[in-house]
Amino acid sequence: MQLSVIIVSYNVEPYIVQCLKSLYKALQNMEADIWVVDNHSKDSTCHKLQHLFPHVHLLKSKHNLGFSKANNLAIRQCRGKYILLINPDTVVGEDVLNQAVSFMDAHGDCGELGVRMINPDGSVAMESRRGVPTPMTAFYKMSGLCKRFPTSKRFAHYYMSYLPWDKPVEIEVVSGAFALLRREALDKVGLLDEDFFMYGEDIDLSYRILKGGFKNYYLPLTILHYKGESTRKSSFRYVHVFYQAMLIFFEKHYHHLSFFVSFPIKVAVYGKATLTLLSILSNHIYKSLGFVRRSYQDIVHYVFTGSEKSAQTCKALALQNGIIVELHISKSASELPDTHFNVPNTSLAVVVFDMAFYTYENVLQYMSRHYNEHIEVGFYYPESRTIITSKEVIR
């Protein structure tokens, strides 16, 4: 088996269905299999996957194993020469996996590979590439120097933002949202550390792969990552798990440091976590008192682009849900919409692409070329009469 794809799912039914649709198109000319580990979802994930994707290896857990344990469960059973760990709230282009595997074939020293992830508005997700969070790198990140000096090799090492985005480059940490792994590297350094429930395990694995004598690479291949459908970063649970993962990583790899170095780092982590929790709490109190600020994202302007047949069914679906949608009929898949929509800056435009008409590659290239904080991507699937966006699923 050339490639085994592993997805860990938890209550993201419409998004994992979309992810699998894009994966099956990307795997058409490859010897591959797909494994889904469901962490005891309460929604219809398992039922939908069994009905729509009977060839997927579905492993149902009776409780939430967390990210590391769930992935390891599938890694131990799959047989791929390469293993792709990918989040359920992602969309891949038709050529991404072929190119990524070809790069691994041509670079025997590559233990792990990541790609350019974009957000729903087309902006690049900075966590597409990261450096190992040494004590000083972590300090520059938490102190704001990383953001203040994005081209500095010293201060900006956490996101390695001084590197080009349009060329393959060596990096240190590959995001667990899309991590293509060489099984040989896993056999040498071990699987994901199950002490990490969620977050931090990708940093730990990347670091161990580097220490094992392999290299980690970034490729300028584009995927979409919703970044928020599988985890809610405004929750108290997120803060606890995320900052706990930071401490686990520090204790594991830097326990040898003196008290005078380790103590300030631990204080900084706890301090940052406390400030984040206070910010979340104040926002909750603010909203409970009725002081809700109206965001431009509260007003959504939908723009459909695709075939005339899909346009009419999409319009009917929108009207059924009380949504006004502007229709742009296209004559060919190469005819992409203009970015100059008549949308005021007080609202958010969602460009809904007809997925019976366009390819995922079309959509991802369009969004990455036309970044605009007031415009996000949406997908329309005529066969299921469903619109999927980062904010909602309309059926």
What are the tens digits of pLDDT across the range 258-267?
Answer: 655 556 666 6
Query: Under a CB-based contact definition with an 8 Å cutoff, are residues 239 and 276 in contact?
Result: yes
Name the residue among 130, 132, 1 with its Cα closest to residue 75. 1
Q: Residue 333: its pLDDT value, please? A: 78
Pairwise pLDDT comparison (291 vs 241), residue with the higher score: 241
Round to whole Å and give the CA distance between 8 and 201. Answer: 14
Round to whole Å and give the CA distance between 146 and 157. Answer: 7
- Percent of the residues in the chain that have a pLDDT greater than 90, as a whole number: 66
Q: Residue 238: its pLDDT value, please? A: 61
Q: Residue 197: its pLDDT value, please? A: 81
Strand, helix or coil for residue 252: helix
Contacts of 153 (CB under 8 A, 6+ apart): 162
Among 110-124, 199-213, 315-329, 335-349, name the one with the lowest average pLDDT: 335-349
Q: Residue 162: its pLDDT value, please? A: 95
Candidates 3.30.70, 2.60.60, 1.10.10, 3.40.50; CATH matching 296-394:
3.40.50
Write the DSSP string, 29-44. Answer: TS-EEEEEEE---SSS
Q: Do strands 90-92 and 178-182 pair parallel, antiparallel, or not at all (unpaired)?
A: unpaired
Round to whole Å and give the CA distance between 264 and 258. Answer: 11
Q: Residue 157: its pLDDT value, please? A: 95
- Percent of the residues in the chain that have a pLDDT greater than 70, as a whole number: 84
Q: Do strands 110-118 and 215-225 pair parallel, antiparallel, or not at all (unpaired)?
A: parallel
Q: Residue 127: its pLDDT value, please? A: 93
Q: Residue 367: its pLDDT value, please? A: 92
pLDDT at 169 over 50: yes
Q: Residue 285: its pLDDT value, please? A: 73
Give the pLDDT mean for 183-197.
Answer: 94
Give the pLDDT mean for 134-149.
Answer: 87
Q: Report the b/e string of 352-390 with b at 16+ CB within 10 A.
A: bbbbebbbbbbbbebbbebeeebbbbbbbbbeeebbbbb
pLDDT one-digit tens code per residue, 204-257: 999 999 999 999 999 999 999 997 544 455 455 666 577 677 777 777 777 676
pLDDT one-digit tens code per residue, 333-372: 777 776 655 666 667 889 999 999 999 999 999 999 888 8
Backbone phi, then psi, for 9, in 5-degree steps? -120, 145
E-assigned strands of 21-125?
32-38, 57-60, 82-86, 90-92, 110-118
pLDDT at 279 over 60: yes
pLDDT at 297 over 70: no
Round to whole Å and give the CA distance between 230 and 9. Answer: 8
**pTM for the full model?**
0.88
What are the CA-CA distances from residue 382 to residues 126, 352, 376 (Å)? Answer: 33, 12, 20
pLDDT one-digit tens code per residue, 20-58: 999 999 999 899 999 999 999 999 999 999 999 999 999
pLDDT at 277 over 90: no
pLDDT at 296 over 50: no
Give the pLDDT mean for 313-338.
Answer: 86
Name the residue among 120, 141, 123, 143 with its Cα closest to residue 132. 141
Beta bridge partners of 171: 216
pLDDT at 174 over 50: yes
pLDDT one-digit tens code per residue, 83-107: 999 999 999 999 999 999 999 999 9
Round to whole Å and give the CA distance between 80 and 102. Answer: 15
Query: Under a CB-based contact definition with an 8 Å cutoff, are residues 221 and 119 in contact?
Result: no
| CATH code 3.90.550.10 region(s) in the chain | 3-225
Could you tell me the fold of the domain covering 3-225?
A: Spore Coat Polysaccharide Biosynthesis Protein SpsA; Chain A (3.90.550)
Give the pLDDT mean for 154-177.
Answer: 96
Q: What is the mean pLDDT of the chain?
A: 87
Round to whole Å and give the CA distance between 233 and 204. Answer: 21
What are the CA-CA distances from residue 335 to residues 327, 350, 371 (Å)? Answer: 14, 18, 18
Give the pLDDT mean for 176-192.
Answer: 97
Contacts of 161 (CB under 8 A, 6+ apart): 126, 146, 150, 151
| CATH code 3.40.50 region(s) in the chain | 296-394
Give the pLDDT mean for 301-330.
Answer: 91
